[in-house]
Amino acid sequence: MLATSVEGARPVLLAWLRRHGAFRGGGYRNVAIGRVADMTAFLAALRDDLVREPGRAAALGRVLPIERTLLLDPTDPLASLQAAIEPLYARLAGGSYFVRLERRGLRGALHSSDVERTLGAVLWRALEAAGHAPRVAFRDPDVVVAIETLGERAGIAVIDRALRVAYPFVRIR
């Protein structure tokens, strides 16, 4: 899991998240990373906490259930990301999608909008090659492929509409 806090509230967020999993700072301001035993149970617990104690929302930026992590090749981080996302195309078939990159670190090595376009095109080509008609939509897509980098580490989340609706704090920047 990757969670962000509002500015300066990471200690409060970490204390809260640690009630539900093994969390620590992510090496960047306002970022927490951790492991949970069950993603759905974790997200439901956060939602329940927010209903019981709405003030907790003041510390929470967003939460992303990271499905896959990888180390990026420092000489060609884009190639690492391309290889990691290409197998995801099957989960996008029949619906709309877009790719979002939140880059922390790798200044000058990755440019978010260029990476998003390149990776979106990789998925587009894979969908076409499999006989599907790709559709990109930035407003309420069926699926968002969210990539978060923390230096040379990256996490990939595939966020569908149902998850975004069920857990409003699972959102894409």
Per-residue pLDDT tens, the chain, 173 aa: give them.
999 999 999 999 999 999 999 999 999 999 999 999 999 999 999 999 999 999 999 999 999 999 999 999 988 999 999 999 999 999 999 999 999 999 998 888 888 999 999 999 999 999 999 999 999 999 999 999 999 999 999 999 999 999 999 999 999 98
Question: What integer pLDDT is reported at residue 109 of this predicted model?
Answer: 81
**Which structural domain range is residue 90 located in?**
68-165
Same domain, yes or no, for 33 and 77?
A: no
> Does 96 fall in a domain?
yes
Question: What integer pLDDT is reported at residue 75 of this predicted model?
Answer: 87
The Cα 128–Cα 154 span in angstroms is 26
Question: What integer pLDDT is reported at residue 57 of this predicted model?
Answer: 95
Same domain, yes or no, for 98 and 57?
A: no
The Cα 30–Cα 150 span in angstroms is 12
> Does 44 fall in a domain?
yes
The Cα 156–Cα 66 span in angstroms is 5
Same domain, yes or no, for 72 and 131?
A: yes
Domain count, the chain: 2
Same domain, yes or no, for 27 and 104?
A: no
Same domain, yes or no, for 80 and 48?
A: no
- Looking at the chain, how many residues does it have? 173
